[in-house]
Amino acid sequence: MIRKLADMEERIKNWIKRHLTFLYLAAITILGGGIRFFLRGYISGDMTQCLLPWMESIREAGGLQSLRLEIGNYNPPYMIILTLLSYIPLYEVFLIKLPSILFDFLLASCAAFYVWRHLEKKSEAIFLYSVLLLDPIVILNSSYWGQCDVIYTFFLVLCILFLLREKYFMAFLLFGCGYAFKQQAAFLLPVLVLLYMQKKKLSILHFLLIPVVDLFLCLPSLLAGRPIGDIVSVYAGQTDLFKNMTMLYYNIWYLFPVSYEDFFAAGCAFAITVVGTGAYWVLKKQISLDGHRLLYFAIWVMYTCLMFFPAMHDRYGYAMEICFVLYAVLYRRKIGVCIMVCLVTLAAYTQYFLRTPVFPEAALAVVNLACYLKLSYDGLRYTCKKSGETI
């Protein structure tokens, strides 16, 4: 009897060893799902003021019939998702959070699969899945706050991964999907323009995919009778909605608290100039944006937009931070800078949730600026080195 028990124990241990990776991923998945389940009931200010009233208006307007109306200030693709969810008889707060939670798992799974399959980095793929699924920013943004930043970020990350494989049709298709969900996807647009200047396989026709995909995803609203002018003007309305140089994103405007009315145009011009200077440097030095350089430059461009454009929200850095995590895990570089950038964002999130500053805002802006300057300096320093070296 004792011998049989010992044999069974040994078989169990051997089975665990053979399936260790699967068991680890299952445990991470269950843990990530459990955390999100326990956070499902929190109702944020955005949920009370915007998302829940939108859902109520959708139901009052007759579900799908509401697509012809201008409800909320988001582009139709996201409102279409809310409309479909309005037919499900579940707790509304959880319903609104559900798409973002699903995209949390999609983002982690697809990014890890790409690293496992195409880069053949199995350890990095497993670690990336764990980090993305348990990243506090990802968890708080989706399952606690109820925001949908993970949806457009999912498409942007896939866009970058397809750019790395030079699958440009799919890359632009995915970028169009991301832009259809959130205007902040445009932060990646300078990278696409620069690649167009470098790569012979890229045609100006690829850029036409962006509005085509956007209109295709808005098609249900158009068919329901919503004027195309309303749809085209959604993002313009968002741009004109907030009249502050910064909206809880700790950028350079926290160190220079100037008037929005006086410095909005100057701030935009300065941000465009910095991005343009970086693009000029890459073209002038004939730096090929391949592999780690492409991902690094994408992070730098998005970070530059966040640091210098006016009216940046705390959540606008979400895509950049996810790409930064991807870079840190894949190439084991800039890990310290990545952690500091994410901690600054967590401080901003905490201030929003608690309605009071946890750390001095000017100090957080200095830390964020130091991280940006470090990233910029290292990129400048290594741009002329051999393509096989990692920044």
- 97 has pLDDT over 90: yes
- 385 has pLDDT over 70: no
Mean pLDDT over residues 198-227, rounded?
94
Mean pLDDT of the chain: 92
User: From CA 383, how far away is CA 290, in angstroms rounded?
Assistant: 12
Exposed e or buried b per residue across 263-297, where buried means at least 16 C-beta atoms within 10 angstroms of its C-beta: bbeebeeebeebbeebbeebeeeebebeebbbbbb
- 3 has pLDDT over 80: no
- 232 has pLDDT over 90: no
pLDDT recorded at residue 279: 94
Mean pLDDT over residues 148-177, rounded?
97
User: From CA 145, how far away is CA 203, in angstroms rounded?
Assistant: 40
pLDDT recorded at residue 238: 80
User: From CA 92, how far away is CA 171, in angstroms rounded?
Assistant: 34
Residue 198: CB atoms within 10 A of its CB come to 15
pLDDT recorded at residue 384: 63
Angle, helix 361-382 to helix 335-354, in steps of 10 degrees: 150
- 388 has pLDDT over 60: no
9-65: pLDDT as tens digits = 888 888 888 889 999 999 999 999 999 999 988 999 899 999 999 999 999 999 999
pLDDT recorded at residue 241: 75
Contacts of residue 278, defined as CB under 8 A and 6 or more positions apart, other chains included, come to 297, 300, 301, 304
As a three-state string, the secondary structure of the chain is: CHHHHHHHHHHHHHHHHHCHHHHHHHHHHHHHHHHHHHCCCCCCHHHHHHHHHHHHHHHHCCHHHHHHCCCCCCCHHHHHHHHHHCCCCCCHHHHHHHHHHHHHHHHHHHHHHHHHHCCCCHHHHHHHHHHHHHCHHHHHHHHHCCCCHHHHHHHHHHHHHHHHCCCHHHHHHHHHHHHHHCHHHHHHHHHHHHHHHHCCCCCCHHHHHHHHHHHHHCHHHHHHCCCHHHHHCHHHHHHCCCCCCEEECCCHHHCCCCCHHHHHHHHHHHHHHHHHHHHHHHHHCCCCCCCHHHHHHHHHHHHHHHHHCCCEEHHHHHHHHHHHHHHHHHHCCCHHHHHHHHHHHHHHHHHHHHCCCCCCHHHHHHHHHHHHHHHHHHHHHHCCCCCCCCC
Residue 240: CB atoms within 10 A of its CB come to 10
Mean pLDDT over residues 217-230, rounded?
93
Distance of CA 72 to CAs 82, 108, 194, 228, Å?
11, 29, 34, 16
- 389 has pLDDT over 70: no
Written as one letter, the residue type at 135 is: D
Placement of tokens 């300096």 in the chain: 377
Please say whether the beta carbons of 137 and 316 come within 8 A.
Answer: no
Mean pLDDT over residues 355-380, rounded?
93
* Sign (positive or negative) of CA dihedral 249, 253, 254, 258: negative
User: From CA 239, how far away is CA 341, in angstroms rounded?
Assistant: 25
Placement of tokens 């009249």 in the chain: 243
- 387 has pLDDT over 60: no
290-311: pLDDT as tens digits = 889 999 999 999 999 999 999 9
Q: Tell me the two tokens of residue 46.
A: 């955005």
- 386 has pLDDT over 70: no
310-366: pLDDT as tens digits = 999 999 999 999 999 999 999 999 999 999 999 999 999 999 998 888 889 999 999
Q: Tell me the two tokens of residue 254.
A: 């926290």
Exposed e or buried b per residue across 58-77, where buried means at least 16 C-beta atoms within 10 angstroms of its C-beta: beebeebebbbbbbbebbbb
- 278 has pLDDT over 90: yes
Picking from 256, 285, 264, 106, the residue whose alpha carbon sits closest to that of residue 194 is: 285
- 381 has pLDDT over 90: no
pTM attached to this predicted model = 0.94
Report angle CA 305, 307, 309 to the nearest 5 degrees: 55
Picking from 115, 101, 99, the residue whose alpha carbon sits closest to that of residue 160 is: 115
pLDDT recorded at residue 375: 96
